Amino acid sequence: MTTVHGHCEPAFEGVKAAFQDNFDQNRDDGASVCITVDGRPVVDLWGGTRDAAHSLPWEQDTVVNVYSTTKTMAALTMLLLADRGVFALEDPVAKCWPEFAVEGKGDVTIAMLLAHSAGLSGLDTPAKGEAIYDHDDIAARLAAQAPWWKPGTASGYHALTQGYLLGEVVRRTTGKTLGTVFREEIAEPLGIDFHIGTPESVDPRIGDLIPPDQHLGEAAGGDPDSISARTFRSPLAVALDSRTLPWRRAELPAANGHGNARSVARAQALLACGGELDGKRILSEAGCRRALELQISGTDLVLNQPANFGMGYGLANPNMPLPPGMCYWGGWGGSLILVDQDRRVTVSFVMNRMVSTLMGDPRTLGIMGAAEAGFAGLAR
Per-residue burial over 149-163, b if 16 or more Cβ lie within 10 Å, else e, is bebbebbbbbbbbbb
Cα 100–Cα 105–Cα 107 angle in degrees, nearest 5: 110
Torsion angle of the four alpha carbons 200, 201, 204, 210, in this order, in degrees rounded to the nearest 10 = -50
Q: Rounded distance, CA 53 to CA 51, Å? A: 5
Active site residue 68: yes
Helices (H) and strands (E) counted in the chain, each on its own, are 13, 14
**Active-site entry in 68, 234, 263, 335:** 68
A 10 A CB-CB count for 21 gives 15
Residue 74 near residue 331 (C-beta atoms within 8 A): no
Q: Which of 141, 138, 135, 139 is nearest to 251 (CA)?
A: 135
Dihedral sign for Cα atoms in the order 65, 68, 74, 79: negative
Which of 7, 85, 1 has its CA nearest to residue 46?
7
> How far are the Cα atoms of 117, 153, 160, 181 from residue 297, in angstroms, in the given order?
10, 9, 21, 30
The DSSP 8-state label assigned to residue 12 in this structure reads G
Are 238 and 332 spatial neighbours (Cβ–Cβ below 8 Å)?
A: no
Peptide bond into 318 cis (omega under 30): no
Catalytic residues: 68
